[in-house]
Structure 1
Amino acid sequence: MTAHLLLGQTLSFTADPFAVPWREAVRHRRRGGVLVRAGRIVEVGEGDALAAAHPEAERHEYGDALIGAGFVDAHMHYPQTGMIASWGKRLIDWLDSYTFPEELRLADPAYAAATAETTLALALAHGTTTLTSFGTVHAHSADAFFEAAEAHGMRVIAGKTCMDRNAPDGLTDDARSAHDDSAALIARWHGRGRALYAITPRFSPTSSREQLEALGALWAAHPDCLMQTHLSEQTDEIAWVRELFPEARDYLDTYEAAGLLGARGLYGHAIHLEAREIDRLAEVGAAVVHCPTSNTFIGSGLFDMAGLKARSIPVGLATDTGGGSSFSMLRTMAAAYEIGQLKGTPLHPAQLMWLATEGSAGALHLSGTIGHLGAGAEADITVLDLASTSAIAQRAARAEDIWEALFPTIMMGDDRAVRAVWVAGREVVRSGAA
């Protein structure tokens, strides 16, 4: 089988740069190489040494471009691709005005399939190799997403969204159908190729206690699945949860009481957390997912990265399209930096890159498999041009180290910065075009 040798600057991580000083967590090679064979990374090392040791490998010369792990988007909504960047709403009005009308269109399987294909093509063009997505209430929406990802060879995590109240006719199921449809999708997709299933209640306001409990029972029966939902995104949402669940100690308790709190849980946003909720997330090892462009775009609030990482809570990074206003994980990193500045805890470029790769992979319980530029990992790789526009190039030309060279691309880069993308050991994007 043909081996491939990617040559350029390389950036990899040996530790969490939030847990140790970032300098101790990173490995940068000015002239590095990545050897790929049979869809996996075989070795990462000095480029010239790898070239000499593997003369049979097909060489891919990227010059001064930066070779790193493919970006991992830990929370998004592929059905909302068509209405991204819609104007002027907060969460609850956003759902009623934009999200639900668009999700109703996915009742048409052909529209769902076309939307899934568009989403994956956009993700790849922006250097994202793994998506964790909500579907709609229609079971075929999950099928469409998994089928499109399978055709691209991508590793994805997804699930049918479950809602049995406070949503329009045509977008609701019930406790039994949510359980049974999800169980059938698990049997069909979980562990098939590179697909994994996430049990997916949208959030407590759109699920009755009975539906949450049915999904909790399903998770108990399939504990190797992930479970994804939303938590404490906006203050008016939290007030609504208090009205709907007066017996609950807090928002997280609505999930905990139903068996939907666990180590393989993914809780999107998690901005306005109470002390007990933070304690419980830390105790069970559950992950939260930071969605910075969404949090600013629909006015949700400022995520406490420093505080949650100090509690050793796993944190992923995500676009949250279409509430998020960009398909780009570079723009998402830039927004995370800006929110950190507003919180008084700016993030270093090493921490931002780690969040978009290793951090999200860890939240998904896929550490060492994706988001990792190292031996044994699946060969999902993104190559960044650090001089992709004239504005970026003139700033990078002044750089005194790799971080000064990389940071302008994080802050100002887009799909033009994506020189190449590899998925499962195949180059699928070149110069930003999927």
Structure 2
Amino acid sequence: MTKILLGQTLSYQKNPFAVPVSEAAQHERRGAVVVENGKIAAIGAADRIRAAWPQAEVTDYGDALISAGFVDAHVHYPQTGIIASWGKRLIDWLNSYTFPEEMRFHDAGYAREIAALYFNLALANGTTTSVSYCTIHPESVDAFFTEARSRGLRALAGKTCMDRNAPEGLRDTPQSAYDDSKTLLQRWHGVDRLSYVITPRFSPTSTPDQLSALGALWGEHPDCLMQTHLSEQTDEIAWVKTLFPSARDYLDTYEMHGLLREGALMGHAIHLEPRERDRLREMDAGLIHCPTSNTFIGSGLFDMAGLMAEGHRVGLATDTGGGSSFSMLRTMAAAYEVGQLNGTPLHASQLWWLATQGAARSLRMEDKIGNLAPGMEADLVVTDLASTPVIAQRANRADTFWDQLFPTIMMGDDRAVKAVWSGGQFQHSA
């Protein structure tokens, strides 16, 4: 059945960090999206689209905005239950909250329970693609992918690997990390809309032998992505220097073990040395900005303007549960606030792009998700731009579409998410 969704529409032709907004984005005040066989068949003015598909089933969302669904490029679904835990620096936070919670994921039933809760929360906030760290337990990976597959979602994840500086119940070995990851990769990668991501947590919790084993696995499966953390906090960087005294810098701890090339996803990347910035750009790695996490845990301010000017791939992410919200709207607002603190405020078009096409580009999936365009997978979020009285009164004063959208970015939450579609199938409504 061909479906037509009516409303305001927003799509991108170019990167709004590289060209003026007028060239980057296309807004239709009364637009339409045609969905056929799980993909977008056409977008355009509502009258023209309806005339071309007279037999289609029509859903009219009025003045709500239809855009690509949000792409959350870095999450920890096992930390769902400990989100917004009080007041720790990164290492203390891991030891106090994260590791005790992750110990519970050896229980497949508990893993399934949290996976279902995570996707309920993500969909309620308009997120249609998630990239998650799991735990060292294969059961946690199976639970995440099973739940995502049952809902027809695009999802990416991997077993988190750690063989030192973690509790005994959360340590594997170089060999078991390789073996478990390979088994899970062979089980899940490319099944329906699922992708396996090779996942060393970060250098401090992996020995050189484990990093080398995972680098070898990535070399054997170059179509996979690899995700890890990089330069999140200054005390973390100092710790890395003591653990890897021969490394040129933090990034080198990955590069020397075969864990840096295109397809690498580097979470945080705040306190980068000049060599690291140059090398990341040269290797075309993805940098994942996690603003609510960076402010909540006191990590620092991501240099969005500088890194974009250098030509890096940058995506946006909640980093739940270090991040303090499941909402990509709240994450966009935090990215704006971080930009302000850096003296480089971001335009609404740039923020929305980061949460959709930019995040998809960081995953090297911009040809599949993150935009409204013919041939793209029909992952869509319908956003109410007047979801609360305060947002409505501010939007009513807007002179432009971007002025209308910005209050929802800054003050919106799950109440603004009117409907969510994934793979052309209806998933959620407010």
Aligned to 2:307: 308
Q: Does 1:252 align with 2:251?
A: yes
Give the residue type in structure 2 aligned to 1:321.
Answer: T
Using the alignment, how far apart are the partners of 1:180 and 1:106 within structure 2?
Answer: 19
Aligned to 1:194: 193
Aligned to 2:382: 383
Using the alignment, how far apart are the partners of 1:90 and 1:266 within structure 2?
Answer: 23
Give the residue type in structure 2 aligned to 1:290.
Answer: H
**CA apart distance, 1:259:** 0.2
SS in 2 for 1:76: strand
Using the alignment, how far apart are the partners of 2:366 and 2:396 within structure 1?
Answer: 34
1:8-60 Cα shifts (integer Å, max 9, x gaps): 10000000001111221000000000000110000001111111111111000
Q: Does 1:48 align with 2:47?
A: yes
SS in 1 for 2:168: coil
Aligned to 1:349: 348
Q: Does 1:20 align with 2:19?
A: yes
Using the alignment, how far apart are the partners of 1:203 and 1:428 within structure 2?
Answer: 34
SS in 1 for 2:265: strand
- Where structure 1 has 5 or more consecutive residues not aligned to the other structure, the ranges are none
Give the residue type in structure 2 aligned to 1:165.
Answer: R
Aligned to 2:72: 73
Q: Does 1:370 align with 2:369?
A: yes
1:5-404 correspondence to structure 2 within 5 Å: 5-404=4-403
The runs of at least 4 consecutive aligned structure 1 residues that moved more than 2 Å come to none
Aligned to 1:411: 410
Give the residue type in structure 1 aligned to 2:330.
Answer: R
SS in 2 for 1:34: strand
Give the residue type in structure 2 aligned to 1:238.
Answer: I
Identical positions, percent: 66
**CA apart distance, 1:368:** 2.2
Using the alignment, how far apart are the partners of 1:22 and 1:10 within structure 2?
Answer: 15
Give the residue type in structure 2 aligned to 1:337.
Answer: Y
Q: CA RMSD in A?
A: 0.5
Give the residue type in structure 1 aligned to 2:247.
Answer: A
Of residues 104-113 and 291-300 in structure 1, the stretch that sits farther from structure 2 once superposed is 104-113
SS in 2 for 1:395: helix
1:150-182 Cα shifts (integer Å, max 9, x gaps): 001000110000000000011010000000100
- Where structure 2 has 5 or more consecutive residues not aligned to the other structure, the ranges are none
SS in 2 for 1:33: strand
Using the alignment, how far apart are the partners of 1:399 and 1:212 within structure 2?
Answer: 52
Q: Give the TM-score normalised by structure 2.
A: 1.00
1:163-206 Cα shifts (integer Å, max 9, x gaps): 00000011010000000100001100000000001000000000
SS in 1 for 2:81: helix
Give the residue type in structure 1 aligned to 2:425.
Answer: R
SS in 1 for 2:169: coil
Give the residue type in structure 1 aligned to 2:168.
Answer: D
1:253-272 Cα shifts (integer Å, max 9, x gaps): 00000000010000000000
**CA apart distance, 1:428:** 1.0
SS in 2 for 1:409: helix
1:186-233 Cα shifts (integer Å, max 9, x gaps): 100000000001000000000000000000000000000000000000
